[in-house]
C-alpha cells in the first residue's frame, strides 16, 4: 500500500500526543497540531528554532534546566538510542506542565543519525482537574482569574480535612504561598501582566497537583495548598518541588523572560488545630521565608 507524503503528514498531525522533529543541531523542522495544543506554540513560531529558544525549556523535578545538560534529544542524537523521561515543559502562557517524553533517533538510508523525533503527552491530572473545575463553577467557588478554588472553597475544604483528621486520624498539611515582590511586577509591567503572572503560577500549581489535593487562590498574590495523607517530609518535598517549578518558569513579555518566585510556609495540621490556628501558623512560617531572603520554604 502506497501512502503519499501528505497522508503521512495528516496521520502525524492527527496524533493525540505532541510530536516534533529536529535536525542534528536540534532545530525544529516539524511541529504537529498536538504539540501546538499542548505547548501553546504554533508551528510558525517554532520552525527553524532550537527547542531551548524560549520554547519548551524542559526542566526535571528539581527544577534543573535540561536544555544544556541532560537533554533527552541531545542524548538520542549523540547515542542513536531511544530515551524516555518524565519532564516539565514550559507552556507559552508561562506555567509548567508535566509530560511523558519518548525520543527516537531519525536516520538516513545509511543508518546515520540526522536528527531526532520527540513525542510527548500531558501527564498531569487533567481529567480530575476538569471535573473539579465543573464542580467549582457550579458552586460559584472558582477564582475566575486563576481557575483555581477560591478562598471560600479553601476554607470549607480545610474544615472538612480537620474533621476527617479528628475522626479517622488522616494527616494533612498546608502550603501557604506568596509571590515575592509582586508589587514590583505590577508597577514595572502593569496589572494586565500581573494577572498573567498569577494565572501561570496558578497553572503550575494545578498541573502538578495530585488528584486528591487542592490548590487555590487565597487572595491577591497568595495561594494555599491542602495536601492530604502526607508526612512532614513529604510535604516539604512537594512544596520545594512547586517552588522550584515556579522559579524555573517564565512569562514572555516581548523578548524578555519575566520570572517570579514564591515564599512558602509549610505545616502539618495538629489534632488541637482550628482553621484559624492552622492558617495563622502557616502564614507566620511563610513570612519567615520572606525574612530569610525569599524564594524558600520554611516548615514547622
pLDDT digits (tens, 9 = 90+) for 263-290: 999 999 999 999 999 999 999 999 999 9
Helix (H, G, I), strand (E, B) or coil at 126: helix
Q: Output the pTM of the full model.
A: 0.83
Q: Is the pLDDT of residue 22 over 80?
A: yes
Q: What is residue 197's predicted lDDT score, i.e. its pLDDT?
A: 97
Cα separation, 122 vs 80, whole angstroms: 25
**Nine-digit cell string for 258:** 519575566
Q: What is residue 99's predicted lDDT score, i.e. its pLDDT?
A: 94
Q: Are 43 and 37 in contact (CB under 8 A)?
A: no
Tell me how long the chain is.
300
Helix (H, G, I), strand (E, B) or coil at 28: strand
Q: Mean pLDDT across the stretch 10-17?
A: 86
Query: Does residue 221 have an active-site annotation?
Result: yes
Q: What is residue 2's predicted lDDT score, i.e. its pLDDT?
A: 58
The pairing of strands 172-179 and 214-219 is unpaired
Q: Which residue in 36, 118, 157, 221 is the catalytic one? A: 221
pLDDT digits (tens, 9 = 90+) for 199-243: 999 999 999 999 999 999 999 999 999 999 999 999 999 999 999
User: Facing residues of 165 across strands?
Assistant: none
Amino acid at each position: 500500500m502506497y501512502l503519499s507524503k501528505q497522508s503521512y503528514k495528516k496521520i502525524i498531525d492527527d496524533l493525540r500526543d505532541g510530536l516534533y522533529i529536529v535536525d542534528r543541531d536540534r532545530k525544529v523542522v516539524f511541529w504537529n497540531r498536538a504539540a501546538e495544543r499542548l505547548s501553546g506554540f504554533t508551528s510558525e513560531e517554532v520552525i527553524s528554532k532550537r527547542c531551548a529558544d524560549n520554547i519548551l525549556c524542559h526542566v526535571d523535578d528539581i527544577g534543573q534546566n535540561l536544555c544544556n545538560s541532560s537533554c533527552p534529544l541531545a542524548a538520542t542524537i549523540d547515542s542513536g538510542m531511544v530515551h524516555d523521561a518524565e519532564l516539565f515543559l514550559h507552556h507559552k502562557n508561562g506555567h509548567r506542565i508535566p509530560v511523558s517524553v519518548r525520543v527516537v533517533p531519525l536516520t538516513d538510508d545509511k543508518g546515520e543519525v540526522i536528527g531526532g523525533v520527540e513525542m510527548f503527552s500531558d501527564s498531569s491530572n487533567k481529567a480530575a482537574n476538569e471535573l473539579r473545575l465543573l464542580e467549582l463553577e457550579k458552586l460559584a467557588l472558582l477564582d475566575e482569574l486563576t481557575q483555581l478554588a477560591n478562598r471560600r472553597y479553601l476554607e470549607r475544604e480545610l474544615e472538612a480535612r480537620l474533621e476527617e483528621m479528628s475522626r479517622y486520624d488522616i494527616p494533612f498539611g498546608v502550603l501557604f504561598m506568596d509571590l515575592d515582590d509582586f508589587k514590583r511586577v505590577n508597577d514595572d509591567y502593569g496589572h494586565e501582566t500581573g494577572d498573567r503572572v498569577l494565572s501561570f503560577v496558578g497553572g503550575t500549581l494545578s498541573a502538578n497537583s495530585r488528584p486528591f489535593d487542592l490548590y487555590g487562590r487565597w487572595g491577591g498574590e497568595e495561594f494555599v495548598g491542602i495536601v492530604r495523607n502526607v508526612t512532614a517530609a513529604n510535604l516539604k518535598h512537594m512544596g520545594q518541588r512547586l517552588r522550584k517549578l515556579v522559579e524555573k518558569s517564565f512569562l514572555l513579555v516581548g523578548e524578555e523572560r519575566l520570572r517570579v518566585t514564591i515564599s512558602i510556609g509549610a505545616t502539618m495540621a495538629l489534632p488541637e488545630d482550628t482553621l484559624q490556628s492552622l492558617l495563622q501558623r502557616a502564614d507566620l512560617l511563610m513570612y519567615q521565608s520572606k525574612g530569610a531572603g525569599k524564594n524558600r520554604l520554611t516548615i514547622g
